[in-house]
Each structure stands twice: as structure tokens, then as C-alpha cells.
Amino acid sequence: MFDSILIVCTGNICRSPIAERLLRGVLPGRKIDSAGMAALVDNPADPGAVQIAKKHELMLDDHRGRQFTSALGRQYDLILVMEKSHQELISQVSPEARGKIMLLGHWVGAREIPDPYHKSQEAFEAVYRLIDQACQSWLLKLNG
């Protein structure tokens, strides 16, 4: 049903790359990518994100930030966002995508996942745990 998933955050250098790599690992054979609403285009993943990902055996070394566009949104069956504000921004840029946007934290109490950018490693760890919990809940729903 959902063969392609786009994960969206703000800058596409912290949260969405981590979620992208987590979901790719547990949903092989599906197209899973990420983008940002105010992406730091072509920038590598934030050092804090790289460090926390490595701690959890994920590699972000080859990640480069990418901007969300309406054309990009049309390429995916499901768009998962970190915050409700991302849903609204995508709806403004790409009204036709409205029906396929959901919070990554939808199945864990419709929880928004805060941005750890410029915060401590403890903040990155807490956000990683939220992303992992949300991805595991999506895995159950998508494979159930």
C-alpha cells in the first residue's frame, strides 16, 4: 500500500535523516527518503545527529540536505512529518499532498518530535528515542 515514504523535518539535517535510515533498515524494498521545509540544501547531517546515529549503528555520512517541493511530494505514497507545522507548510506548498501527510509520531499519541538542532547530545539522544519509537510503531502498522 505504501511503497514509498518521504520523511520531512525543518532543515533535513537532524531528525528526518535519522528517521529515514531507521525506516530503511526495517522496511527493506521500499523507497524511503527525506527532505526539509527549510532545508540546508546539500549540507551534510548535523554532527550531533551523526554522532547519535553512529552510537545506534546508523550511518549518515552520505546524507545531503534536500528541499521539499510539490514535485518531490508527488513521488511518494506517504509523507511523515515531525511537527504539525510541517503538515501545514506542506499543504501550502503542495495542497494535493494533504491527504497523505501524517505525523511520524501519529501512533505514539500523535506526538510531535522536537528539533534537537544546536542542543546537547542528551537532547539528540531523547529525540533519537522518540524517532525510534515512532518508526517502530509505523513498522507495526505498515506490515500489520
Among 14, 15, 66, 135, the one annotated catalytic:
15
**Helix, strand, coil share (%) of the chain residues, nearest 5:** 45, 15, 40
Q: How far is 76 from 109, CA to CA, in rounded Å? A: 24
Report the C-alpha gap between 10 and 8 in whole angstroms: 7
The CA-based angle 66-72-74, given to 5 degrees, is 160
The Cα-based distances of 72 to 35, 90, 94, 103 in angstroms read 9, 11, 10, 18
Q: Which of 9, 46, 66, 135 is catalytic?
A: 9
The one-letter amino acid code at 80 reads: L
9 catalytic per annotation: yes
C-alpha grid cell for residue 101? 501527510
Our answer to whether residue 115 is catalytic in this structure is: yes
Is 64 known to be catalytic? no
- Which listed residue (30, 64, 111, 115) is catalytic? 115
Which residues are part of the catalytic machinery?
9, 15, 115
